[in-house]
Amino acid sequence: MTYHEGRNGKFLVLPSGVKGENNWTVVKKNAVRLVRE
């Protein structure tokens, strides 16, 4: 995973074969679960 910051915002870039599911919370905070495709 790498971090990228540009004109469109800040991003965590996932490696090939990994996707993020963004409908999670951890300790009442938004979270992204990483899963293999």
pTM for the whole thing? 0.68
Tokens (6 digits) for 13: 């870039």
Res 15: pLDDT: 97
Q: What is the pLDDT of residues 1-37, one digit of tens each?
A: 999 999 999 999 999 999 999 999 999 999 999 999 9
What is the C-alpha to C-alpha distance for residues 6 and 20, in angstroms, rounded to an integer?
20
Q: How many helices (H) and strands (E) does the chain have?
A: 0, 4
